Structure 1
Amino acid sequence: MEEMLADEAAYEFVMTFLEQVQNLVSHRLELFLGPEDVERLLGPRSAVGWKTLAEFWAAVAAWCADNRPPLESSEEILSVRNEQLRAMLWTGNRTLPTGAKLGLADAVRYEKATGAGIPGFSHIAAALRAMGQD
């Protein structure tokens, strides 16, 4: 990841990967390392990306708390048994310390409402790609 981050063309790929790892470890499941453990393993460039993503998602959570109905619990996505669906849900959503779930739709709403995002990395573009509309 460190070498890839030196190449601007790989930035979006690396940030997507780091975000999916952050989402996965946010669920604090026994099978995976915790967020703090992963963060200690990162190189300097990856650590900056990790921090940028964490700050973005903290802003999304704060915005949701002020502007949206209460967030749903992540319990439902954590209990999914189908491995393929579980992989998509666990890497596409994150569990907040409160147990609430944030996902791509929340990030898109935040970006559209505030115009704030991560430079060079758009959740709106990611959502369009996921729908095959890129």
Structure 2
Amino acid sequence: MYTVQHCAAQMVKQKTGGNIVCISSAAGHHGCAPMTCAAYVASKHAVLGLVKQVAGELAEHGIRCNSISPGIMRTAMLKKIFEGTQGREELLSSGCMLKRVGEPDELHGAMLYLMSDASSYMTGNDILVNGGKL
């Protein structure tokens, strides 16, 4: 939230418009039970709400605000979750249509789209990149 506030203030001051892209999580859309991570899910849901509100506040300044919600991605955090628990990766990836964990590089296309003029009529929205979560 503070990063968005700081960036938005600078963009408004410069009067050049621009794009803000926040990173949420697919968990902000559908939770991640049976894991116990209510605080994580709540914080990611909050990012989605922040994006919608900020988009409305900044639209008059030509500033768009959107978000990306990654699904299960092979990150350092996920590696810790998988450590010592055999079968957890298969269990988590079985819940998506592609039946695999995503790679961080697979977020590049969504980010490029949101930062480019190709998405010039898009604000206050989220792109789910989650392998087709069932």
TM-score w.r.t. length of structure 1: 0.32
Bigger radius of gyration, 1 or 2? 2
TM-score by length of 2: 0.32
Flag the structure with higher strand content: 2
